[in-house]
């Protein structure tokens, strides 16, 4: 582990910290009537409390790489939604793979950098855009914004010298989903291109006939999921994922299949802490073909941001969390300009 990772948090906490970024991608801000709704600025500040505030860096997913691609919709896609990028016409795409945490030079090899992130921006025929944000774990530890903020503050106050039981230990004792999330992470991947990514929030798809379905996104790599052995991980450098994806794309396009997982009666629509069963039907929306690495200048990274509730006609938000995230993201974007 590098000095910055060691000084910001102990080895014992390194895996625990990966929760925080996952929750940011997935936190549901639809508070119960007897809770206090955390404000967007408070959520961003809580992230800084854990990771520190790094000039010009994202509050989350600070370390990443930008690539350019194209999206070719599948024939089934337009039958599910009238959204313009699902209507049988290939559209350009910008995407960004990332590590978790808000530390811009966190090593790819430490536990806190996993699960990985994938954010995708589609450029629509009318000049507008739409975004999807996903990560490499099908689920996340908490169900509400207030639980997320409590978790962040518990992590920040649970250092090696904290009295026992720590705030984090008490939190995990009453949140079994968070504990499960903590103990079932995937091993380090061979590549950003050999991981599946999941959109853990729900959207409502409506087609031209007015028929609607609730869906969650899944990105499945054409190469399949591939992981490093412990020996391979020890031999890998701190930036091995960016180096690997550059070499991989230079040799041949990297492809992902984008699926819509379809909800059935009884599935949790507004609670992203509950993953839907693998048995749910999946409809192929199309193929993302990654063709080249972008310039990845500082100016390019500052300019690029993804708002997951920025959706076109034919797609609508189905859980309140996405509306609240749209208020928190611009705060982080403004801070890093």
CA 180 distance to own-chain centroid: 18
Classify 79 as helix, strand or coil. helix
Structure tokens at 306: 């993804």
User: Bigger pLDDT: 231 or 103?
Assistant: 231
Number of domains in the chain: 1
Residues spanned by the domain of 271: 3-335
**Residue 54 — very low, low, confident or very high, per pLDDT cuts 50/70/90?**
confident
Say which of 61, 85, 135, 310 is annotated catalytic.
61
Q: CB atoms < 10 A from the CB of 288, how many?
A: 24
Average pLDDT over residues 179-193: 87
Q: Which residues are annotated as a binding site for heme?
A: 329
Whether the per-residue pLDDT at 33 is higher than 60: the answer is no
The radius of gyration of the chain from alpha carbons, rounded to an integer in Å, stands at 19
Q: Which residues are annotated as a binding site?
A: 329
Q: Is 61 a catalytic residue?
A: yes
Instruction: Output the pLDDT for position 153.
Output: 85
| Residue whose token pair is 């518990």 | 154
Average pLDDT over residues 216-242: 97
Average pLDDT over residues 114-139: 95
Whether the per-residue pLDDT at 319 is higher than 90: the answer is no
Q: What is the CATH number of the domain that holds 158?
A: 2.40.180.10
Q: How far, in Å, CA of 80 to CA of 170, rounded?
A: 44
Instruction: Output the pLDDT for position 300.
Output: 92
The whole-chain average pLDDT of the chain stands at: 84
Those residues with Cβ within 8 angstroms of residue 197's Cβ, 6 or more apart along the chain or in another chain: 116, 117, 118, 134, 135, 136, 218, 219, 256
């Amino acid at each position: 582990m590098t000095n910055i990772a060691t000084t910001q948090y102990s080895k014992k906490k390194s895996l625990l910290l990966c929760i925080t970024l996952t929750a940011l991608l997935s936190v549901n801000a639809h508070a119960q009537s007897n809770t206090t709704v955390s404000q967007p600025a408070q959520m961003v500040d809580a992230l800084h409390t854990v990771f520190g505030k790094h000039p010009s860096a994202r509050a989350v997913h600070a370390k990443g790489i930008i690539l350019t691609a194209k999206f070719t919709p599948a024939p089934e896609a337009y039958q599910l939604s009238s959204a313009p990028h699902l209507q049988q016409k290939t559209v350009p795409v910008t995407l960004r793979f990332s590590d978790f945490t808000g530390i811009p030079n966190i090593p790819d090899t430490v536990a806190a950098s996993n699960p990985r992130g994938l954010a995708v921006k589609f450029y629509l025929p009318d000049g507008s855009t739409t975004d999807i944000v996903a990560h490499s774990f099908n689920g996340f530890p908490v169900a509400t914004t207030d639980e997320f903020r409590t978790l962040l503050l518990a992590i920040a106050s649970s250092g090696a010298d904290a009295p026992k039981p720590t705030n984090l230990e008490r939190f995990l004792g009453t949140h079994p989903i968070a504990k499960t999330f903590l103990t079932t992470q995937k091993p380090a991947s061979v590549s950003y291109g050999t991981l599946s990514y999941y959109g853990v929030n729900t959207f409502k798809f409506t087609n031209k006939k007015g028929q609607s379905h609730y869906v969650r996104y899944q990105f499945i790599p054409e190469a399949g999921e591939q992981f490093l052995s412990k020996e391979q991980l020890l031999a890998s450098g701190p930036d091995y994922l960016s180096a690997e994806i550059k070499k991989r794309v230079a040799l041949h396009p990297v492809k992902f299949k984008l699926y819509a997982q379809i909800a059935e009666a009884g599935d949790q629509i507004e609670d992203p802490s509950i993953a839907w069963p693998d048995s749910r039907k999946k409809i192929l929306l199309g193929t993302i073909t990654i063709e080249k690495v972008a310039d990845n200048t500082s100016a390019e990274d500052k300019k690029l941001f993804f708002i997951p509730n920025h959706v076109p006609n034919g797609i609508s938000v189905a859980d309140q969390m996405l509306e609240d995230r749209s208020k928190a993201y611009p705060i982080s974007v403004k801070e890093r300009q």
